[in-house]
A = this chain, B = another copy of it.
């Protein structure tokens, strides 16, 4: 499924390039310099040799060391002795003396109206000085999430936030991404949905080794622990958000995208985009004016204040060449799955997956959590026709409890009674079953957190016999 999508998308991607007009070139080149970082023949070969030479050197030093050293050095091949980070190739214990952007007093971590200049080159220089982080940089993601500094008004609010955070840490442990949970307002005037902008800006500087910054609202959870973001699909883009192009460009709706979950590339374009986005926020002198502009632009926006999502759609719509064309509006999988459309399908999805597992012994094989991606790949061929939109039965990648407001508890009045909390409990246990399984346990009833040991070979014949026995 995804494979065909790559081609489809790359095709349209190239079309975009062909139709570019000159004003777009600058941004496009910036974007290219990230995706095709080193793609110009001379620099390509030079950078390659820098990285590879460094990588091989580190390896050989470790190998020679392990041969000549005492036993105790051997198992630490690639570990603290050689990399500073146990069992990883990263060298966390080294920071060369050469000057980098960190030594420049003019460069600040804040969104303050004067963005960094030449960030792509500065970041590239840092990566050259840190080859173990440069290796594989194109696919490295830092997941950001967070919530308010004070306790939630809703009595079960913080409990739900805790479990939503656990869910994100589970996903990133399985796939090897870093997670940062923020519960400080980095800019006191940028609260709630504006708080992520200064955090993303600071994280781009704090994590030059991350190619992508992945923002996820605290009330969004992973409901398919196997699915991996198809980064190759976005090689010509700097921003990925779930949405519907016709709602942006025809309907002009402020809900055409969901700004609660998105990927933003760690590059110069993004530095400038964040400044433009922040100009529409509550800390900006233009805030009130933007409120009017956005409300008059989007007929379905019912509240007067400028909000991050309307602001995003506005930039997509009105500055298409500068911003819109570098943004990938995704709807082929649930980067943002609306909880109302998901929760009712969970039982059917569970049933469909079990049916397949009953037939495929490979999929039932017990394994270490650390090699879970192997089984995610095996699943793909069985999910080609599943689909996770309406009527589909594929696990939605991310289920987002928009409007539920777990922390304040003041959910959208259109949601009946306990729908939000019952739905979150079910979705969290559904997700947790995909994790607990590799620890030998299962939540038999998604309505509560109780667990039982999982029979060997579940849900195969042998397991059923066990249950009967």
What is the interface of chain A, defined by CB distance below 8 A to chain B?
35-39, 44, 48, 51-52, 55-56, 59, 63, 66-67, 71-72, 74-80, 83-95, 102-103, 105, 108-110, 126, 130, 133-141, 147, 149-152, 155-159, 161-163, 165-166, 169-170, 173-181, 183-186, 188, 199, 202-203, 205-209, 228, 232, 235, 365-375, 377, 432, 436, 438-441, 443, 448-451, 453, 456-457, 462
By CB atoms of chain B within 10 A, which of A71, A76, A150, A177 has the most? A71
With A48-B74, A87-B140 in contact, is A440–B185 under 8 Å at CB?
no
Q: Which residues of B contact A133 (CB under 8 A)?
A: 87, 368, 370
Q: Which residues of B contact A159 (CB under 8 A)?
A: 150-152, 158
With A105-B456, A105-B462, A202-B440 in contact, is A75–B232 under 8 Å at CB?
no
With A92-B373, A373-B84 in contact, is A137–B175 under 8 Å at CB?
no
Which residue of chain B is the closest to A151 with respect to CB atoms?
Answer: B159
Q: Which residues of B contact A55 (CB under 8 A)?
A: 59, 63, 77-78
A105 & B170 in contact (Cβ 8 Å cutoff): no
With A48-B66, A108-B440, A202-B439 in contact, is A75–B368 under 8 Å at CB?
no
With A44-B71, A52-B77, A126-B368 in contact, is A110–B440 under 8 Å at CB?
yes
Which residue of chain B is the closest to A80 with respect to CB atoms?
Answer: B139
B87 & A139 in contact (Cβ 8 Å cutoff): yes
B105 & A457 in contact (Cβ 8 Å cutoff): yes
Q: Which residues of B contact A183 (CB under 8 A)?
A: 162-163, 166, 449
Q: How far is the CA of A432 from the CA of B146 in the complex (A)?
A: 14
This protein's copies in its complex: 2
Q: Which residues of B contact A56 (CB under 8 A)?
A: 59, 63
B372 & A92 in contact (Cβ 8 Å cutoff): yes
Which of B177, B365, B368 meets A206, CB within 8 Å? B368
Which residue of chain B is the closest to A184 with respect to CB atoms?
Answer: B451
A76 & B207 in contact (Cβ 8 Å cutoff): no
Q: 6 extra interchain contacts, Cβ-Cβ under 8 A, other than A44-B74, A108-B440, A208-B368?
A: A87-B209, A93-B374, A133-B368, A147-B162, A149-B449, A206-B440
With A105-B462, A170-B180, A175-B85 in contact, is A205–B52 under 8 Å at CB?
no
Q: How far is the CA of A88 from the CA of B139 in the complex (A)?
A: 10
Which residue of chain B is the closest to A40 with respect to CB atoms?
Answer: B71
16 chain-A/chain-B pairs, Cβ below 8 angstroms: A44-B74, A75-B134, A75-B138, A90-B176, A92-B370, A92-B371, A93-B377, A95-B365, A95-B374, A102-B368, A150-B159, A152-B158, A156-B158, A165-B165, A165-B181, A184-B436
Q: How far is the CA of A441 from the CA of B198 in the complex (A)?
A: 11
A89 & B95 in contact (Cβ 8 Å cutoff): no
Which 9 A-B pairs have CB atoms at the shortest separation, nearest pair first? Answer: A109-B440, A79-B136, A149-B449, A158-B158, A75-B138, A86-B139, A87-B136, A85-B176, A151-B159
With A55-B77, A184-B441, A206-B439 in contact, is A367–B451 under 8 Å at CB?
no
B207 & A368 in contact (Cβ 8 Å cutoff): yes
B37 & A75 in contact (Cβ 8 Å cutoff): yes
Minimum distance in angstroms from A375 CB to a CB of chain B: 7
